Structure 1
Amino acid sequence: MNANTIVNKLWRLCAVLRKDGITYQQYVTELTYLLFMKMMAERNRETGSIPAGYRWQDLVNANGVAKLELYRSALVIFGTSSTRLGEGDKLLTPPGEKASKEEKQIYADARPLPDMVFSIFDNASTFIREPQNLTTLVTAIDELHWFSEERDQFGDLYEGLLQKNAEETKRGAGQYFTPRVLIDVLVKLMKPIPGDVIQDPAAGTGGFLIAADKAMRRATDDYFTLGEKEQAFQKHQAFHGMENVPGTLRLLLMNLYLHDLDSDHVHLGDTLSDKGKTLGKADLILTNPPFGPAGGAPTRDDLTVTASVSSYQLPFVEHCIRSLKPGGRAAIVVPDNVLFEDGRGRQLRQMLMNWCDLHTILRLPTGIFYAQGVKTNVIFLTRGKTEKGNTDEVWVYDLRAQMPKFGKTNQLTEDHFRDFETAFGTDAYGKERGEDQGEEGRWRCFTREEIEARGDNLDISWLREAEEEAEAGLSEPEDIAAAILGHLQAAISEIETLSAELEETAPTEAPAAAE
């Protein structure tokens, strides 16, 4: 049974758990725990790692309330870190708890699991309240025989579940899930190579990091052609990321674990706080930052251009500019207002074109990032060795005008990007360009002087089909609601930016005259 068939079968079970008050994202989290237990059993890794009595077959054999209680206890055991329990393989009593002799023996049977697993199961608890619902889920998973020596079998299955989650909940999971087709296109164009430090400062469920790893594995016979030191770098040093939502971090860590990627440099935290500095410098940044109001300005002291901006998108772009090594490259998903917003937005674009070679802008179709703002783009850039005059020209590809109406019922596919890939060329630094197609085509070049004459406005379009027509063609209530939400978020972001600028330019009140 292939991964897609398994994904569809597991996803249909979500309808059962919805009756237990479980959301789509909670369902994926629940599957994270159960799939881990099943995986350990199918790969014969339970002995010495999971205590007897708390393994997959024990869960399968238990009945009723006893099954639910066993499952709850297993989650506690998986999330109990050896670093705070004692030394060696014997797990001692957790602080503040008095363990019985039997409980100590259970712990003594186990060898500490990898630290990454403890992070995945940290503070884990089940959302399932009805024992019968757990029985339904465990039985269905147990009946699926997907054992394979292939490393990606479980990883592909898990990615499929994450994608299903995003498709069902654009206002939730869709806020951090980038369409895999877009991820694959960007990775193909940016060409990650072994030895690159690759960063995603808004890592979500890890799509960019995993896709980059897969691309490099394909090019190196699963890293077999690399030396021992280079292989160790790829596993332990190559990938850096940060995610600010604990529940999403759990999914991210599980995704990395299933794809055999180390998580030592992937952390929980706010990239726009001082913790974001710990991400360090990168050779390649691939990211889809959050859009919309951030609830306050960045607290980092190095984001000088966007220090007073209380939305996510502008400060995240400045972070990417500052985090790239000289010669480093990036592909960043941004909403339209990054390209046209005045004030701090214009200053950021000037910094972008001075510090970097902003060689390409891809105008994305309407409808693939509704929850984050309707209209989005990808900016491709290379960090210069100086901080002045690095952009001579910007090539723009319009994949938005005169395009089909995208939504839940009409998915974006790789075929939609074929012509753009040809125009972009095979050079990751934008040095190989397809021919300018003029006003009738989708691919055009604009000089730095032409952009300056536009007030450094990079929201450039020339093909005339009202983008509103694409939204008028939406039929799914979920797509229509998401489009409205996107417009509201964009409006709020613009209002907050204007308010901040007015506060900056407000005249200082003259001091009262001395009496």
Structure 2
Amino acid sequence: MSTENNKTTSDIVGKLWNLCNILKDDGITYHQYVTELTYLLFLKMATETGTEDQLPENYRWADLETRAAPDRLEFYKILLIHLGGHGSTLVQEIFANASSFIKKPATLSTLVAEIDKLDWYSVHREDLGDLYEGLLEKNANEKKSGAGQYFTPRALINSMVRIMQPSLTDIIQDPAAGTGGFLIAANHYLRTQNDFDELTEAQQRKYRNNTFYGMEHVQDTHRLALMNLMLHGIDGGIRYGDTLSPEGQALPPATLILTNPPFGTKKGGGLPSRDDFTYPTSNKQFCFLQHIYRGLKPGGRAAVVLPDNVLFESNIGSDIRRDLMDKCNLHTILRLPTGIFYAQGVKTNVLFFTRGDSDKGNTQETWIYDLRANMPQFGKRTQLTEQHFAEFETAFGDDPLGTPASLTKRNDQGESGRFRRFSREQIAERGDSLDISWLKDDSATDAQDLPEPAFLAQEALSELDAAMEELRGILEELGADFEEDLV
């Protein structure tokens, strides 16, 4: 995108975001605002892009706009219900169970008028996706919205995509898709690396319909994701459902998985309802990790954001790490800086691994890059940028599979450096813990950078869950049949 187009898109994003002040006066939250705006933008953009044929007649932007102001809100609410069951499959998915939070007719009339006033002709068709993505990022950056607590920074997403080098032959999956950030970034990478004008019609169709897959279990987020993908030229792709239920088993095997699964435990502390996990656990991260490495085709690769507890929890945690290192070549771990997520205390890593042709002995060595020690305190004042990942990307090398031949070209920087090699035997001596650090961290931690109480409470719950898992394991070893007494 040119600088001029970028500025135009940014200006429109700013104007759209400022409309939230109108809705705040009507008692509408930031998250509800973005959902509400998605309905209206879909109708408007269908008009601007000449794709209104996917909407039933009499339920389009012009029909809403030409209604008398006092009747417009009532018609809008009827329109939302109607589109949930009529029109194209995409329309029905985006408007499924849709309802409006707007209470005052004047609020809707102002929104319609302001959206219509925007200079849509200055936005190129291919830039509409960037406009919408910018709106989603604004929402995530607004702490009051709650949407950004675990929002994956775009700089991190783009670095992971560059390292994994998506290709046109890939089947790309995000089992915790959110608003589709990883899939959109992979799409952008592929479009900059390939000449799509040279693809046959069949190749174009395969790309649009059979390259990107994902799942999202929050319906409002799912509609935002579908809108995001549509504006970036991808048809569907993200299903509404729970990856940790049998619905997740229906996702096709992938050659590339890029994801940042949700942290914490399954609601109510229950086990996932799908029955194909070797190690059932209420810990969401461990469940998603099993889904990911089991869902890769042989030779398929993954880059996954996971919190520290996945690296060190014992019992089932150790079993799952051993299973991962058996079935996959876990060749690289990137220890991420703290503060890059809006829940300040979250400590995370990116695990890079490749599924083996066999299910045993695939990890021979794991390289760990410490981008956490002696790093700035990221937040509003210090933004995480793609430049922060430049040295890691150079150290990683140009082989997304992490094959043994490419690992021999890496440089172990020793105890004073950020990048080090650990053999499978060394990891086993640590009890198969991958929580390995060696640099003395001299970076100061201000009181304002301390974890928020909600995060500390969540962390305590995770530790209690881990303790419960250990107690259950002990009871099972003793042959006890009264494990329910623990609950």
For the criterion TM > 0.5, the same-fold answer is: yes
Q: Residues 41-440 of structure 1: matches in 2 within 5 Å?
A: 41-46=47-52, 49-52=55-58, 54-81=59-86, 113-147=87-121, 150-169=124-143, 172-175=146-149, 177-221=151-195, 223-263=196-236, 265-295=237-267, 296-305=270-279, 307=280, 309-371=281-343, 374-431=346-403, 432=406, 433-440=409-416
Shift in Å, 1:404: 1.0
C-alpha contact (below 8 Å) 1:7/1:157 kept by paired residues: yes
* Structure 2 partner of 1:28: 34
Mapped partners of 2:156, 2:360: distance in 1: 31
Shift in Å, 1:217: 1.7
Give the aligned residue type for 1:484: P
The alpha-carbon distance between structure 1 residues 176 and 65, as it changes in their structure 2 partners (threshold 3 A), is farther
* Structure 2 partner of 1:451: 427
Mapped partners of 2:464, 2:344: distance in 1: 16
Deviations 1:440-481 (A, max 9, x none): 2211111112111111111111121267x445353xxxxx6x
The alpha-carbon distance between structure 1 residues 274 and 39, as it changes in their structure 2 partners (threshold 3 A), is same
Shift in Å, 1:247: 1.2
C-alpha contact (below 8 Å) 1:370/1:485 kept by paired residues: no
C-alpha contact (below 8 Å) 1:363/1:397 kept by paired residues: yes
C-alpha contact (below 8 Å) 1:64/1:131 kept by paired residues: yes
* Structure 1 partner of 2:4: none
Range moving further from structure 2, 339-348 or 487-496: 487-496
Give the aligned residue type for 2:14: N
Shift in Å, 1:278: 0.4
C-alpha contact (below 8 Å) 2:344/2:452 kept by paired residues: no
* Structure 1 partner of 2:447: 472
The alpha-carbon distance between structure 1 residues 510 and 217, as it changes in their structure 2 partners (threshold 3 A), is closer
Give the aligned residue type for 1:158: Y
Give the aligned residue type for 1:445: R
Deviations 1:373-399 (A, max 9, x none): 610000000011111111111111111
Deviations 1:47-84 (A, max 9, x none): 684424x4434433445322212322322332222xxx
TM-score where L is the length of structure 2: 0.90
Mapped partners of 1:171, 1:362: distance in 2: 29
C-alpha contact (below 8 Å) 1:17/1:133 kept by paired residues: yes
RMSD over aligned CA atoms reads 2.2
The alpha-carbon distance between structure 1 residues 149 and 410, as it changes in their structure 2 partners (threshold 3 A), is closer
Q: SS of the residue aligned with 1:174? A: coil
Mapped partners of 1:238, 1:257: distance in 2: 14
Shift in Å, 1:312: 0.5
The alpha-carbon distance between structure 1 residues 452 and 181, as it changes in their structure 2 partners (threshold 3 A), is same
Q: SS of the residue aligned with 2:85? A: coil
Range moving further from structure 2, 239-248 or 162-171: 162-171
Question: Structure 2: which 5+ runs fail to align?
Answer: 1-6, 483-487
Deviations 1:127-170 (A, max 9, x none): 11112222222222111112368443221111111111111137
Mapped partners of 2:186, 2:481: distance in 1: 57
C-alpha contact (below 8 Å) 1:151/1:260 kept by paired residues: no
Mapped partners of 1:285, 1:385: distance in 2: 17
* Structure 2 partner of 1:105: none
Mapped partners of 2:78, 2:360: distance in 1: 59
Q: SS of the residue aligned with 2:148? A: helix
The percentage of aligned residue pairs carrying the same residue is 54
C-alpha contact (below 8 Å) 2:225/2:238 kept by paired residues: no
Shift in Å, 1:233: 1.4
Give the aligned residue type for 1:472: A
The alpha-carbon distance between structure 1 residues 191 and 372, as it changes in their structure 2 partners (threshold 3 A), is farther
* Structure 1 partner of 2:457: 488
Deviations 1:197-234 (A, max 9, x none): 1111111111111111121122222x222233322211
Give the aligned residue type for 1:329: R
Which of 6, 10, 14 is 2:16 aligned to? 10
Question: Structure 1: which 5+ runs fail to align?
Answer: 82-112, 475-479
Shift in Å, 1:335: 0.2
C-alpha contact (below 8 Å) 2:49/2:125 kept by paired residues: no
Mapped partners of 1:27, 1:48: distance in 2: 24
